[in-house]
C-alpha cells in the first residue's frame, strides 16, 4: 500500500471539488481524507499504486466544470486509512488558490424553480455546487458556510441532509437554502413595506405598469424599468442624472434577444455562458432610441439568477432596462437603506448581506472582441502571466479603476471599482484591495505601483500603502502601463503598441493620449499625435468645440476662427475663448487621440457636449457607420525630435473644409476616423521597422472603436506584421493596473 499527502491549489473551493474527490476515491478504492486548508485542499491518500495512479489521473482530467487546478504537490507519507472521508476545514494553508466567481444559475436548479412538485418551487435563491454566488458572499477563508453571508441562515433539516450527502449535487454548496430556511424578498413602495405575499410577482407588475424598480441581486443592485415605455426610461435618466449615457438591457431569453440585436453564433455562446456578461451588439430598430441615444449598439444580457427568471415569469415585458443603481461616479448601492434612498418607485429587497459588490461584466463583441469591464463572472479568477517572483499591488489610474495584486505568475484584478475622484468610490477601492489580499492570503507586498499623475487619489492612496508596508512606491507612466498590460497578458516582450485614449500624464509633464510605444526591454515613445492646444483644459473635454478652436488655431487667425466657431458659442464666451487661444491661459497641450475624435464629432454636429466619458467619440463612430471612406483627408507624418508625429491639424482642417463644401457628413466622419487609423498605424509600422519588431498592438480607450482598430489591423497584417489586441483585460483604464504591476516588477 502506498501513501501520499497531496495539496491541490487553484479554484478548488466552492465548486464541488471535495465531493468529486470523495466519489473518485470511493470508485478507485482509495483510503484517506480531503479537507479545505486555507484556500487550497489537502488530501491524505493510500491504496494500491495502480489505483492511486488512476485516481490522480481522474482528478486532473475529470474535475468539476467550475474548478481549476493550478498545481498538485505530492509527498510520500505513512498514514493508512481503511475508508475515505471529508473532514473539517482548516484556516491554514497555501496562499495561491482563489475563490471562484459568481456564475449563472444552472439549468437543473432553474428546472426545480418551475417544478410545482419541488421543494424550491418559485424560490429565487435556488443554487447548487455548479451555480450561484461565491465571491460576493465570502467573508473569510476557508470557503465554508460559516465564513459567508449565508451564516445568518440556519439550514433546515432537508437542506442539511443535502449539504452533508457526498452523493448529492448540493453537498457542501455553501449558499444552499430553501423557502423554509433561506433569504427572502420584500417589496417596498417608496419607503413603505408592501407586505406582499409574492414580492417578485408584484415587482413584475410594477415594471409592466411603467414604474422604476430597484432590484437587489447577488452582487449589487439594478434600477429596472420597461424597454417599451419611453416615459419610464426618461424618468430613469432624470433619476440617475444620466441624460444620454447608454443603458443596458436584459432580454427574457435568446429568442427575444435576436429580435432586439444582431447576434452571431459566437455572440450567442458568450451571452449563454455561465459568466453571463453584458455583450455590446448592433441594435435593431425595435428598441427605443432613449436606451442608447445616438449609438448603433446596445449592451444586452440574459437572466442569470432565479430572481431574474421569476421576474420574466410574471411579466409581460420582452426585456427590461437594467442599469447599475448608483449616482454618477458613486459605487453601486448595496445596503437596503441606501437602495431605498435612490428614489425608485418600488424596491425589491432581500435580507442577505452582500460582502463583495460586483458589477456586471461588459464585453464588446465583433471581430475585435474585448472586455470593456471585467467583473461579475470573472473576478476574482486570476490572469496567468509569466513568472515574476514578486508580489506587487497596483492601483490603476483615476476612472474605470481596477486594482491588481500580482503574485508571481498570477495577476488578481479586483472587480470594477469606477471613478475614484469620488470619496465613496475611493473607499470602495480600499476595501476591495483589503479583501483581495485576505482572500489570497497576502500579508505583504514587495512594491506599490500607481499612475505618475500626482493629483490622482489612487496615487495618494498608493503613497499611504507604501508607507504602511514599508515598500517602494513605483510611479508608472500611463501609456507605458497600457502597453505593458497588453505585453503581459499576451506574453509578448517585443512589440510596438499604439496607445490611444483621452488623457494620460506624460513623463515630460505634458498630457499624452496618442502614442506609439516601442516595447523592447523597456518603453520608448517612438511617435505621437501632434500636440494641440486645449483651451480651458477639462472644460474642453466637456465642450469639444473648444478643442476645434485649439487645433485650428495653428491654421487660422483670430477672425477666421471666430467665423468657424460662431455656431457653437455665444459672443461673450467666444471672445473669452479666442483670448485663451491667443494667450494660452489655462490651455495645456495634448497629443490625445480622444480629443481629436471629439473635435471631429463637434465640427460635424454629432455631439457638442459630453455628458459621459467617451460620448462624442462613441457617437462619431456610430454616425460614421452610415458613411463610406471617400473624402480626401491628408495623413501627414513628420519627424520631430527623432519621433514620428501625425499632423492632426491637417485632418481636422480637412474635415472643416469638406463640411464647408457640402460633402455628406457621414462620409466625412468615416473618412476622418480612417485617416486617424492610417496615421497611427503608419507611425507604428515605421517604428517597428526601425527596430526590427514584427508585432503591432493596440491598447487604450480608442481600441474600443471598431472601425479604427479594424483599419489598423488590416494595414498591419497586409504589411506583414502580427496584430494583437487585449483579450483578457479591458483595453481602457480598467486593464491598466496589470501593466503597472509588471512595470513595478521591472523597477523594484
Q: Quick one: fold of 2-86?
A: Alpha-Beta Plaits (3.30.70)
Helices (H), 393-504: 423-439, 457-469, 478-490
pTM of the model: 0.94
DSSP secondary structure string for all residues of 530-587: PPEE-TTTHHHHHSTHHHHHHHHTTTS-HHHHHHHHGGGS-HHHHHHHHHHHHH-TT-
Q: Are 548 and 564 in contact (CB under 8 A)?
A: yes
H or E, element range at 687: helix 665-691
CA angle 699, 701, 702 (to 5 degrees): 85
SS3 content of the chain, % helix, strand, coil (to 5): 35, 20, 40
- Write down the domain spans for the chain: 2-86, 185-364, 378-490+734-747, 497-730
The CATH architecture that domain 378-490+734-747 belongs to is: 2-Layer Sandwich (3.30)
Task: Name the band, by pLDDT with cuts 50, 70 and 90, for residue 97.
Answer: low
Output the pLDDT for position 400.
96
Question: What is the average per-residue pLDDT within 386-412?
Answer: 96
Output the pLDDT for position 96.
55
Q: Are 395 and 450 in contact (CB under 8 A)?
A: yes
Inform me whether the pLDDT recorded for 635 exceeds 60. Answer: yes
Output the pLDDT for position 258.
96
The yes/no answer on whether domain 497-730 falls in CATH 3.30.1510.10 is no
Higher pLDDT, 81 or 486: 486
Q: CA-to-CA distance for 531 and 259, rounded, in angstroms?
A: 45
Do the first three CATH levels of 378-490+734-747 and 497-730 match, i.e. the same topology? yes
Q: Are 288 and 234 in contact (CB under 8 A)?
A: no
Q: CA-to-CA distance for 599 and 119, rounded, in angstroms?
A: 61
Inform me whether the pLDDT recorded for 92 exceeds 60. Answer: no
- What digits encode the pLDDT tens for the residues 224-273? 999 999 999 999 999 999 999 999 999 999 999 999 999 999 999 999 99
Q: CA-to-CA distance for 129 and 123, rounded, in angstroms?
A: 17
Q: CA-to-CA distance for 576 and 277, rounded, in angstroms?
A: 47
> CA 420, 423, 428, 430 torsion: positive or negative?
positive
Q: CA-to-CA distance for 531 and 638, rounded, in angstroms?
A: 13
Inform me whether the pLDDT recorded for 24 exceeds 50. Answer: yes
Q: CA-to-CA distance for 250 and 357, rounded, in angstroms?
A: 20
| Percent of the chain whose predicted confidence (pLDDT) is above 70 | 99
* 210: region left, alpha or beta (phi > 0 left; psi from -120 to 50 alpha): left
The mean pLDDT value of the chain amounts to 94
> CA 439, 443, 447, 449 torsion: positive or negative?
positive
Superfamily name and number for 185-364: DHBP synthase (3.90.870.10)
- What digits encode the pLDDT tens for the residues 120-169? 999 999 999 999 999 999 998 888 899 999 999 999 999 999 999 988 99
- Which own/partner pairs from 710-715 qualify as long-range (CB within 8 Å, at least 24 positions apart)? 710/367, 710/368, 711/673, 711/674, 711/677, 711/678, 711/681, 712/498, 712/677, 712/680, 712/681, 712/684, 713/367, 713/368, 715/677, 715/678, 715/681, 715/682, 715/685
Question: What is the average per-residue pLDDT within 403-409?
Answer: 96
Residue 242: φ, ψ to 5°: -120, 85
Three-state secondary structure readout of 70-82: EEEEEEECCCCCC
**Residue 483, number of CB atoms within 10 A of its CB:** 28
For β-strands 346-350 and 185-189, DSSP reports them as antiparallel
Amino acid at each position: 500500500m502506498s501513501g501520499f499527502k497531496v495539496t491541490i491549489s487553484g479554484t478548488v473551493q466552492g465548486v464541488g471539488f471535495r465531493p468529486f474527490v470523495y466519489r473518485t476515491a470511493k470508485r478507485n478504492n482509495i483510503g484517506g481524507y480531503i479537507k479545505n486548508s486555507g484556500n487550497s485542499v489537502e488530501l491524505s491518500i493510500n491504496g494500491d499504486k495502480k489505483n492511486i495512479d488512476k485516481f490522480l489521473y481522474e482528478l486532473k482530467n475529470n474535475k468539476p466544470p467550475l474548478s481549476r487546478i493550478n498545481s498538485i504537490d505530492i509527498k510520500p507519507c505513512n498514514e493508512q486509512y481503511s475508508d475515505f472521508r471529508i473532514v473539517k476545514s482548516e484556516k491554514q494553508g497555501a496562499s495561491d488558490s482563489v475563490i471562484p466567481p459568481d456564475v449563472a444559475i444552472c439549468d437543473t436548479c432553474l428546472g426545480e424553480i418551475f417544478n410545482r412538485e419541488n421543494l424550491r418551487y418559485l424560490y429565487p435563491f435556488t443554487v447548487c455546487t455548479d451555480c450561484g454566488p461565491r465571491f460576493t458572499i465570502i467573508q473569510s477563508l476557508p470557503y465554508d458556510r460559516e465564513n459567508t453571508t449565508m451564516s445568518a441562515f440556519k439550514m433546515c433539516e432537508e437542506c442539511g441532509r443535502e449539504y452533508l450527502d457526498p452523493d448529492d449535487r448540493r453537498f457542501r454548496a455553501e449558499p444552499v437554502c430553501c423557502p423554509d430556511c433561506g433569504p427572502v424578498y420584500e417589496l417596498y413602495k417608496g419607503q413603505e413595506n408592501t407586505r406582499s405575499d409574492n414580492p417578485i410577482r408584484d415587482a413584475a407588475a410594477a415594471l409592466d405598469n411603467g414604474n422604476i424598480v430597484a432590484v437587489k441581486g447577488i452582487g449589487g443592485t439594478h434600477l429596472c424599468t420597461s424597454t417599451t415605455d419611453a416615459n419610464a426610461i426618461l424618468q430613469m435618466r432624470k433619476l440617475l442624472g444620466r441624460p444620454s449615457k447608454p443603458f443596458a438591457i436584459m432580454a427574457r431569453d435568446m429568442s427575444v434577444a435576436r429580435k432586439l440585436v444582431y447576434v452571431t453564433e459566437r455572440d450567442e455562446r458568450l451571452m449563454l455562458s455561465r459568466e453571463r456578461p453584458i455583450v455590446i451588439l448592433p441594435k435593431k430598430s425595435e428598441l427605443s432610441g432613449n436606451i442608447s441615444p445616438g449609438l448603433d449598439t446596445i449592451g444586452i444580457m440574459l437572466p442569470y439568477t432565479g430572481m431574474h427568471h421569476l421576474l420574466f415569469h410574471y411579466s409581460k415585458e420582452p426585456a427590461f432596462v437594467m442599469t447599475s443603481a448608483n449616482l454618477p461616479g458613486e459605487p453601486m448601492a448595496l445596503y437596503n437603506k441606501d437602495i431605498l434612498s435612490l428614489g425608485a418607485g418600488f424596491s425589491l429587497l432581500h435580507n442577505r448581506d452582500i460582502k463583495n459588490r460586483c458589477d456586471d461584466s461588459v464585453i464588446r463583441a465583433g471581430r475585435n472582441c474585448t472586455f470593456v469591464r471585467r467583473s461579475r463572472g470573472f473576478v476574482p479568477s486570476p490572469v496567468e502571466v509569466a513568472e515574476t517572483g514578486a508580489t506587487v499591488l497596483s492601483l490603476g489610474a483615476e476612472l474605470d479603476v481596477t486594482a491588481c495584486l500580482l503574485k508571481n505568475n498570477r495577476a488578481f484584478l479586483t472587480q470594477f471599482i469606477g471613478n475614484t475622484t469620488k470619496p465613496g468610490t475611493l473607499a470602495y477601492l480600499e476595501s476591495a484591495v483589503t479583501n483581495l489580499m485576505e482572500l489570497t492570503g497576502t500579508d505583504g507586498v514587495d512594491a506599490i505601483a500607481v499612475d505618475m499623475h500626482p493629483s490622482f487619489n489612487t496615487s495618494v492612496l498608493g503613497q499611504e500603502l507604501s508607507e504602511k508596508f514599508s515598500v517602494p512606491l513605483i510611479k508608472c507612466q500611463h501609456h507605458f502601463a497600457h502597453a505593458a498590460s497588453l505585453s503581459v497578458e499576451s506574453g509578448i516582450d517585443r512589440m510596438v503598441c499604439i496607445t490611444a485614449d483621452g488623457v494620460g500624464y506624460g513623463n515630460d509633464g505634458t498630457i499624452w493620449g496618442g502614442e506609439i510605444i516601442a516595447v523592447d526591454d523597456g518603453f520608448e515613445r517612438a511617435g505621437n499625435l501632434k500636440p494641440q492646444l486645449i483651451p480651458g483644459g477639462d472644460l474642453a473635454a466637456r465642450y469639444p468645440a473648444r478643442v476645434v478652436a485649439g487645433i485650428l488655431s495653428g491654421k487660422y487667425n483670430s477672425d477666421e476662427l471666430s467665423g468657424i466657431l460662431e455656431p457653437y458659442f455665444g459672443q461673450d464666451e467666444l471672445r473669452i475663448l479666442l483670448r485663451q487661444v491667443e494667450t494660452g491661459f489655462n490651455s495645456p497641450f495634448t497629443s490625445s487621440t480622444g480629443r481629436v475624435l471629439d473635435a471631429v464629432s463637434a465640427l460635424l454636429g454629432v455631439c457638442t457636449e459630453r455628458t459621459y466619458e467617451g460620448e462624442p467619440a462613441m457617437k462619431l463612430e456610430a454616425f460614421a457607420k452610415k458613411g463610406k471612406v471617400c473624402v480626401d483627408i491628408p495623413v501627414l507624418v513628420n519627424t520631430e525630435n527623432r519621433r514620428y508625429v501625425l499632423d492632426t491639424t491637417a485632418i481636422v482642417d480637412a474635415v472643416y473644409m469638406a463640411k464647408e463644401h457640402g460633402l455628406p457628413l457621414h462620409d466625412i466622419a468615416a473618412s476622418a476616423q480612417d485617416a486617424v487609423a492610417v496615421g497611427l498605424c503608419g507611425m507604428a509600422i515605421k517604428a517597428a521597422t526601425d527596430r526590427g519588431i514584427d508585432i503591432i498592438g493596440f491598447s487604450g480607450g480608442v481600441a474600443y472603436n471598431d472601425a479604427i482598430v479594424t483599419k489598423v489591423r488590416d494595414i498591419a497584417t497586409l504589411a506583414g506584421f502580427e496584430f494583437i489586441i487585449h483579450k483578457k483585460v479591458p483595453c481602457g483604464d480598467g486593464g491598466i493596473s496589470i501593466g503597472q504591476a509588471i512595470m513595478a516588477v521591472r523597477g523594484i
